[in-house]
Structure 1
Amino acid sequence: MSSPPFSTSSAFENAITLEEQPIYQDVPEFNDINNEISNQLLDINNNLSNLNKNLNYLEDQITKSTDMVKKSTSGQNNSITKYQNNSLNLITKLMELFKKLSLESKKLNELNTDELNKSQLFVKEKLSVNIRRSLEEFNSLQSFFTSLEKKLNVINTNELLISDGTMNGEQQSQNQQQQLQQEQQQISIEYEPINAEELEYQRNLIEQRERDIVNISEGITELNEIFHDLSSLVTSQGEIIDNIESNIYSTLHDTRSANKHIVKADKYHRNQRRLCFWLLIICMVILLFILLVIFA
């Protein structure tokens, strides 16, 4: 007769199996934040694409007008102004979108990672990567826009210098011929205010571009600081997650090791019980044999 098998091993193995199964977590706010960030990123990327196209068109117009400083037509000026204003409006809009995105990103990073399953953690990491890429692209495009603005300022400055030189030359010629050609003097007097208007317009354009460059630089600096803080928070949380994961694997390894020891001890105890059982049978047989000899 044998004793019933010891069930500690199978029960412990079942416990390990249950432990390895992912625990379902319901985090409805994660899905809401995920949808909001995804929609905002879609809007941002569409605007980034439009900004890139506008800047390329603007660069083409600037390149065409670079060799035509003295002969810049109104059509070319209108095209440059059009793409310049469009680009500036898109940059301003993108700054506002990124600020809104930073609020949602902060909510995402403040979620308790212990309550997220593996799929949600993967989505969270993917969103962070996409946000970082979009911000890097925006920084690159605004730097491109700033360089084009500076190039336009150089062109306008050259126009100012040429216009100033033309006005000074005409003024000297006017003084020399004032007594000889009164009609030409009248034409020059009518022409001078037009040049002065153009000069003032060009100066205002240069000053406005300088202000735009400063405003964009300040806005980008602010955005970079916001997302730098968020990135530090993500890195800190990532280290915590890594530590938790390391501890989980360490605990799982120790648990499995303990399970092996328990299984080994269980086998040893079962062998010992079998040995005791057979020794008892042998002793009983010997005792029975002795009794038969004595009473025979």
Structure 2
Amino acid sequence: MSFNDLERGTFTQPSLALNASAQTDEERHYKRTVQEVSRKVFQINASVGNIRQQVGQLNTSRDTSRLRQDIQNKMESTRELVKTTTAELKALSDFQQTNPNKRRARRLEQQKLTADFHRVVEQFQNIQRVSAEVTREFVDRARHAVHLQTDDMLAEGMDHEESTPLLANQQQQQQQRRVELSVLDNDIEYNEALINERESEINEIEQGIVELNEIFRDLGTIVTEQQSLLDNIETNVQSVGNNAARASEQLSSANEYQRRANKTKFCILLFLIIFVVVLVLIAIS
């Protein structure tokens, strides 16, 4: 490095270039994260719409075990998507920007993303509640049916115990009753299996709702932090504006003082010139 380089200040250029490159990389990373969050919010919204359509088919002629399994799979994948999106929203607040205007623009952008995300997560939670309620209605009806079937079986059993020696046709009727009781017993077992399956679905949905409640608390913290940062930015901008105004006033005062000082110096110099001229004239005469 030569003295001329130092004198011209060219040695600072590489560091400035590195800073500009780092800022560019940071900006690209920030934009990619914003785009990824926006994409996932859109994806969650589409998934919720699909789940809502399928939940509307529950307890209808289209209700099948395959449909319910598909709903459960989509709910689980959507919950995972919600979790990763929440983490990426938190990461956005780690991006720092020294420029107050750009920093404020980023915070406003993050606030909008958070609001959109909060809305779709709330819709997702609501459709989970609807699914749990529909499934709970099925369980209640199935339990009622099981109780009725159990009562019928008990009544048939009591009739069988109280019966007297039977004739051939009566024995045939009794055999038919045994077949009917066997079918009824199978129906009870099937309904009980369905009840257990549906209760398992309800438990899983309710666990997902609890997880979303925790995410809502995280979102509340994110919103509070974003608002606090925006308030600080506004305060800093206002402070900078006030400082600039005071600096302008001080510069104006300094300029006025300088102008007056120059005027005073001019008057003194003019007086000295006149005084010297008078002295010279007196000496000549």
TM-score category by the smaller chain? 0.7 to 0.9
- The match for 2:46 is 46
The Cα shift of 1:156 comes to 0.7
- The match for 2:156 is 170
Tell me the SS of whatever aligns to 1:79.
Answer: coil
Tell me the distance in 1 between the aligned counterparts of 2:70 and 2:120: 20
Cα pair distance change 1:113/1:124, threshold 3 Å: farther
Paired letter, 2:45: N
Q: Please say if residues 118 and 219 of structure 2, whose CA atoms lie closer than 8 Å, have aligned partners that are also in contact.
A: no
Write the deviation string for residues 18-45 of structure 1: whole angstroms up to 9, x where unpaired. Answer: xxxxxx9532211221222222222211
Tell me the distance in 2 between the aligned counterparts of 1:216 and 1:109: 31
The Cα shift of 1:216 comes to 2.1
Higher relative contact order, chain-length normalized (CA < 8 Å, sep 6+): 1
Point out where structure 2 has 5 or more consecutive residues left out of the alignment: 1-21
- The match for 2:126 is 140
Paired letter, 1:169: A
Write the deviation string for residues 255-289 of structure 1: whole angstroms up to 9, x where unpaired. Answer: 32122122122123213322442464366457757
The Cα shift of 1:219 comes to 2.8
- The match for 2:75 is 91
Cα pair distance change 1:271/1:109, threshold 3 Å: closer
Task: Give the aligned CA root-mean-square deviation in angstroms.
Answer: 3.1
Tell me the SS of whatever aligns to 2:139.
Answer: helix
Tell me the SS of whatever aligns to 1:267.
Answer: helix
The Cα shift of 1:101 comes to 2.1
- The match for 1:194 is 183
Pairs within 5 Å for 1:248-259: 248-259=237-248
The Cα shift of 1:183 comes to 1.3
Point out where structure 1 has 5 or more consecutive residues left out of the alignment: 1-23, 62-75
Cα pair distance change 1:188/1:32, threshold 3 Å: same
Tell me the SS of whatever aligns to 1:112.
Answer: coil
Tell me the SS of whatever aligns to 1:110.
Answer: coil
- The match for 1:28 is 28
Tell me the distance in 2 between the aligned counterparts of 1:114 and 1:137: 37
TM-score norm. by structure 2 comes to: 0.76
Tell me the distance in 2 between the aligned counterparts of 1:261 and 1:31: 41
Are 2:232 and 1:243 equivalent residues in the alignment? yes
Tell me the distance in 1 between the aligned counterparts of 2:152 and 2:70: 33
Cα pair distance change 1:272/1:106, threshold 3 Å: closer
Paired letter, 1:225: E
TM-score norm. by structure 1 comes to: 0.73
Pairs within 5 Å for 1:89-238: 89-112=73-96, 114=98, 117-176=103-162, 179-180=166-167, 181-226=170-215, 228-229=217-218, 231-233=220-222, 235-236=224-225, 238=227
Tell me the distance in 2 between the aligned counterparts of 1:112 and 1:294: 78
Write the deviation string for residues 94-119 of structure 1: whole angstroms up to 9, x where unpaired. Answer: 12222232332333233335476444
The Cα shift of 1:87 comes to 2.8
**Share of identical aligned residues, percent?**
24
- The match for 2:5 is none
Paired letter, 2:71: S
Paired letter, 1:31: K
